[in-house]
Structure 1
Amino acid sequence: MISKQASTLPRRLLRRYGASDPFELADCLGITILECHDFKLQKGAFKVILNNCFIFINANLSTEMKKLVCAHELGHALLHRPLGKTDTGLMEFELFDITNTTEYEANLFAANLLLDEEEIDSLAREGFDIVQIAHNLGTNVNLPLLKLQQINSDNHLHLPDMPSRNFLGTISDDAGHL
């Protein structure tokens, strides 16, 4: 069962802090972000150390991908804190591996945090297809697809094409380029 908080919490954070930038929100919430230069394939991680939350991000990623990774890990920090207390924490090699509930919720949190529903709706009404919407938003096509899937689920509609369940793990670092 997918937690409703994955879609409602980003809206509450936006209202409370007036920001949707995951780096700014992490700072407001007392979550430390560290860039790691020794990550090779790993994109990010979330870990609780001595009751302090840390998000680790691969320093070699593009600015767009760092933002996406940070939003995903922030989702873990807020939705799955107990998992960050394990020996390994939550390590991300494939961010959009949504084959399990934990990863799906972190991805849904990121989509709801980073993408404005009204902006997507406006672009769609102007006749933009999903690829053009993603390009205009500077993100990979799967992120708005995930957001649309959630919108349609809330409204009991049906979209014919849903995002691949492991798309973040399979996309390259140039997240804004298709």
Structure 2
Amino acid sequence: MTAAAPTHPDPTMEAIGQAVTEGRAGDSDSARQKLLGLWSTIGVTGDPLHRCTLAHHLADLYEDPAQALAWDVRALDAADAVTEQRVQEHHAGLHITGFYPSLHLNLADNYRRLGAFDAATEHIDAAEEHAPNLPQGAYGALLRTAIEQVTEAIAQRDTTKRASAPGPTA
């Protein structure tokens, strides 16, 4: 999922974005704590767009694939509850279908790192199925390349972290 200019101000999405920026700048611990605090505020029944976005980005802040997997599962579950109308309220250029390639890619990569190759294959196949929904440009190209990399790693039964994977470095 890419960051985009919101249609309406959304303080929760802004707070998520600030924490994500902090994590990408290298302060994973602080970003993780901020996102966990927001998760407590949002709750498991809160706005599905908030839950999906937060969980998707929080997963990237964990080095341990089992911890990341738990958050990626939450992100996919929340995405299934997000309506197209809600996504459009946040940003007119976004579509919920565009979230799925990245969500399934992350699940596939975590399952692969855990050695659960059947589950990894199921999710990489789903990522490939949803790949036509990716935008053209750098973001779409990045995800298409990552899908290819994870597909190859699954075929090779490779459980090492990809150099291009998001998240903290080991």
- Normalising by structure 2, we get a TM-score of 0.29
Say which structure is richer in strand.
Answer: 1
Say which structure is richer in helix.
Answer: 2
